[in-house]
Amino acid sequence: MAVTFSNPITTAVETALLLTEEKIGPRDGAGKTVVVAMSGGVDSAVSALIMRERGYRVVGMNLRLFSPGDAEHAANPCCGIPAMDDARATCAIIGVPFYAINMEAEFGEAVIDRFVNEYAEGRTPNPCLECNRHVKFRHLVARARQLGADCLATGHYARIEGGNDEPYRLLRAIDGNKDQSYVLHTFDQDQLSFIQFPLGRLTKPEVRQLARGFGLPVAEKEESQEICFVGRGSYADFVAKRRPDVTKPGAIIDESGAVLGEHKGLVHHTVGQRKGIGIAGPQPLYVLDIDTKQNRLMVGSRQRAVAREVEADGVAFTSDRWPETAVSCRAMVRYRGQLNDAIITPGPAGSGTATIRFTGAAAGLPIASPGQAIVFYAGEEVLGGGTIRTVERATESGESDG
């Protein structure tokens, strides 16, 4: 097999073209300090590099969140000691100070325990979102401000625009395949005014090109899986070790209550699931409901699995303004999922509740599960979001049960 070598001159030119203000933002960092969250991966490494190129005094900060020593988790050391070492090496290459903070206890309580308990109750949590909300950004913003920094930067793929007497707006990333705005929808105006996303106008290949061009040690590092603490095992196995009560077999029923078979523990199932139910039929079956009190799994057709309307709590808007009337939007219920036309009917001010009704054709309705985040968009802008608590399924005709 032929071996190809990159041309150093070509590489230098390609790298220089990626350092334009259109790509990385204005060179406005003179006299300013930025704390950069360093996970040990290529995205955060290039974020630190970009902020340095923009003139900021960069301080690299790593959060040690989960670092068990067993082989099961060695394949995904994104939050532990190996990742911390990679972050430290990157900071040494680009010549910036590095600090590490042990936050395993906070991560365990706010993310892992919540994940286990929500899953055991038949809901579908998003631990990456909870990590951003309760661990990473809460503590990193506080630490950065304690250090007197002017801003915090991370390697997330999203954009922030506004300021100068205009509200700050959270926008989707240019690279739609990497966009992470869904898990950032909880930001308020104070956070948006302090945080920067240097990668928002870059694609993943461009990020790796920058890393190669500057000789960063993580340029070719593989991406970690989304849920760092699960390791090589399944979600169900992880939860079962901590909640063995959810592994008890029980009945699989249809909507009429007729028993169709037996499940091997509710922990193995989530609402909307199609594969792994273990029942053959004339058409694919989907999980419609998880009854943890009676240990039963209800299944039905896809037409009955989709949602026409959901109730959400923990609802907030990035503008910090609670709408007084219904709001038209496009809503997303899965990370990097499809956008669906919807109308938000907000609850009373201060309630943090809302009803979201999907208005599109029945064929395009989403499958939604309690525990998932629902995020509201207007074009490229993130309006806000909340957590789904109840789901009103569509009838066979596509209308709602109500």
Q: What is the pLDDT of residues 185-226, one digit of tens each?
A: 999 999 999 999 999 999 999 999 999 999 999 999 887 655
pTM above 0.75, yes or no: yes
Q: Is 131 considered catalytic here? A: yes
pLDDT score for 311? 97
pLDDT score for 363? 83
Q: Is 128 considered catalytic here? A: no
State the pLDDT confidence band at 4, using cuts at 50, 70 and 90. very low
pLDDT tops 50 at residue 20: yes
Q: What's the mean pLDDT in 253-269?
A: 93
More confident residue, 318 or 361: 318
More confident residue, 167 or 104: 167
pLDDT tops 60 at residue 277: yes
Go through the domains of the chain in sequence order and give each one's CATH number: 8-155+198-213 (3.40.50.620), 248-303 (2.30.30.280), 305-393 (2.40.30.10)
pLDDT score for 14? 84
pLDDT tops 70 at residue 69: no
> Measured between alpha carbons, how far is residue 250 from residues 203, 295, 300 in Å?
47, 6, 17
Share of the chain above pLDDT 70, in %: 91
pLDDT tops 80 at residue 397: no
pLDDT score for 341? 97
pLDDT tops 60 at residue 82: yes
Task: From the candidates 79, 131, 151, 329, give the one annotated as an active-site residue.
Answer: 131
pLDDT score for 303? 87
pLDDT score for 5? 43
Q: What is the pLDDT of residues 117-171, one digit of tens each?
A: 988 888 888 888 888 888 888 889 999 999 999 999 999 999 999 988 899 999 9
pLDDT tops 80 at residue 10: no
More confident residue, 362 or 294: 294
Q: What is the pLDDT of residues 377-388, one digit of tens each?
A: 999 999 999 999
Task: From the candidates 78, 91, 151, 228, give the one annotated as an active-site residue.
Answer: 228
Q: What's the mean pLDDT in 267-296?
A: 90
Q: What's the mean pLDDT in 360-375?
A: 91
pLDDT tops 50 at residue 2: no
pLDDT score for 8? 60
pLDDT score for 393? 84
More confident residue, 351 or 163: 351
